[in-house]
A and B are shown apart, each in its own frame.
Chain A
């Protein structure tokens, strides 16, 4: 009885609060100002329905993998494919997810091989079961040995080198490469590639990517410790946006360039806060991986002729071409 009274009072309070809040509308920004742009769609295939499993090493809640998944979904929608998506950053768990897909007798598997040796057995099992396996994003050096049909992605080391050469043209002398996850193979490869392609000095800084205030403070600390750093290099869009604040906190004149893209970063490039971004086109990776399985199943095609990887990056996004990308980024697909 008493409880019910309390519940009623609570409901009334919440209702009153809602009504009150109705008078607190924001006159700028927010959902209302967002345009309801629909993502790309291009009809629908009439081929028989098939199931494709996509298994990645993504950690949940990362904007990069959001784009991969959106690309995969777009391809699945177009190709009349049922997409089963799963991910686990732990290589052993990821291998189990692939085994799970084999058990479900899917028509194809698209997977990332961030730790190739862990994928070796399951890929062999899938091929033995007659399921085509397509690699993407990670494992550019190993997809052939693993017995995958084809590969879509960026060679992180090559991308790093291209990044370094670009910095040479821009006249940078001392670069700081910020790694947000210590020991992550792809990220380390980018900085290693940068070191190779860049003629100036390259230092590496590790930050804790799950704690943004700490990322901000640590980059600030490093800029203060070494005032000769004139180029900041980040490996993810959210880290780059935080680094913008570190630069102003430290009063540093260093330039900033980054790997990967999201819609807020596009704005930062337009505003000149970020010099350029190297895009490996995650949407394209997800899209092509699913589409490739459909093509193989329906027409026996495979890109790269099973000998060469299909590169989706590095694509440089800077002030000269950012506007063409901006409208796609606003949809959350670039």
Chain B
């Protein structure tokens, strides 16, 4: 399709009449350049490059079932990356996000098992716990003025210890009991961990949730007052407070949104694997943060989008599974992952820089 534009004979078009009268300070940029300057376009191109690369390098990727698998992997990262990105735009970040997922899953599993209740009771309780963790993180950051790095590093360690200690205390083991035969499990599984048959391909429900959450987040960011507040508190806390933005409310609620994300992913893990090991989740927080950064969210806050991180998470899932589909020597797995990600980020940055140069 794009070939047609290139093939258009140049003879028919009269030579350009030269730039119109300007004073030289504002040069009108082409539409393409202006589109490229948007934060999410760079990452989109990076993701597309990685995708095309693996289409060529790894034949199994061309299969629709493989794409569903790659999207599944991306979605479990991506659901968390959406609120993590919003929080980063709001100028904070959360190191406890990875273990908080497991805390939520453990809460739901142990509560419903130990009290022999319908598992939905555990699911709701886990949501309350996750919101509580988010609130505490946010409240401590706002109240103490400490950097969120320190506060959430603390909660990361606390949750890691609590996950293990409480699980051991309650179940006597380091993993929870199987809850798959309990009431409410099958309906909860339908919501959090089912899959659909689309044209003969099994597609996991988390993919739909991921895209839905990203769409909602985009709408909130661009169309609502709350969205403006997020950009404002991330850009400059003091001046936004001066113009009447509720800084504390915005920051605390963003941390609580991360809690909601952790709850959702935790429920997915619980209902797809029936039991939870208390030691999981460590290191995941860095993947969420990297996916958001690749997606164009600044580490310093104040800029970014909710769509960019969708491509960021996709890129992570694509590279992680693409390496396996390409059947490369697994000893180099981590090195490949790092090189591909750096490469993708550099493409992203290069696109941005060329587009905004003049």
Contact assessment for A63 and B173 in the assembled complex, using a CB-CB cutoff below 8 Å: yes
Q: Output the least CB separation between A263 and chain B (Å).
A: 8
- What 1/0 mask marks residues of chain A from 33 to 72 whose CB sits below 8 Å from any chain B CB? 1100000000000000000000000011111011000000
Answer yes or no: A25 CB below 8 A from chain B CBs. Answer: yes
Answer yes or no: A281 CB below 8 A from chain B CBs. Answer: no
Which listed residue (A26, A31, A59, A211) contacts B284, Cβ 8 A? A211
Contact assessment for B164 and A61 in the assembled complex, using a CB-CB cutoff below 8 Å: yes
Which listed residue (B76, B182, B333) contacts A182, Cβ 8 A? B333
Cβ–Cβ < 8 Å partners of B117 in chain A: 21, 24-26, 30
Cβ–Cβ < 8 Å partners of A66 in chain B: 168, 173-175
Q: Output the least CB separation between B319 and chain A (Å).
A: 12
Contact assessment for B273 and A29 in the assembled complex, using a CB-CB cutoff below 8 Å: no
The number of inter-chain residue pairs (CB within 8 angstroms) is 162
A210 to B327, CA, bound (A): 22
| Known contacts A218-B324, A221-B324, A224-B63: A31-B116 contact under CB 8 Å | yes
A249 to B197, CA, bound (A): 12
Cβ–Cβ < 8 Å partners of B164 in chain A: 60-61
Answer yes or no: B283 CB below 8 A from chain A CBs. Answer: yes
Chain B interface size, as a band, is: 35 or more
A210 to B163, CA, bound (A): 14
Which listed residue (A21, A61, A218, A241) contacts B280, Cβ 8 A? A61
Contact assessment for B73 and A63 in the assembled complex, using a CB-CB cutoff below 8 Å: no
Answer yes or no: A28 CB below 8 A from chain B CBs. Answer: yes
Which listed residue (A28, A61, A332) contacts B278, Cβ 8 A? A61
| Known contacts A30-B112, A217-B72: A245-B272 contact under CB 8 Å | yes
A262 to B160, CA, bound (A): 23
Contact assessment for A61 and B116 in the assembled complex, using a CB-CB cutoff below 8 Å: no
Cβ–Cβ < 8 Å partners of A31 in chain B: 113-116
A239 to B143, CA, bound (A): 42
Contact assessment for B121 and A213 in the assembled complex, using a CB-CB cutoff below 8 Å: no
Q: Among residues 64 to 92 in chain A, which have CB atoms less than 8 Å away from a CB atom of chain B? A: 65-66
Which listed residue (A222, A242, A262) contacts B175, Cβ 8 A? A262
Cβ–Cβ < 8 Å partners of A28 in chain B: 181-183
A133 to B62, CA, bound (A): 57
In the complex, the chain B residue whose C-beta lies closest to that of A24 is B118
Contact assessment for B179 and A29 in the assembled complex, using a CB-CB cutoff below 8 Å: yes
Cβ–Cβ < 8 Å partners of A217 in chain B: 69-70, 72-73, 317, 320-321
B residues at A contact (CB < 8 Å) = 58, 60, 63, 65-66, 69-70, 72-73, 76, 112-121, 124, 160, 163-164, 167-168, 172-175, 177-184, 202, 268-269, 272-275, 277-284, 317, 320-321, 324-327, 330, 333-334
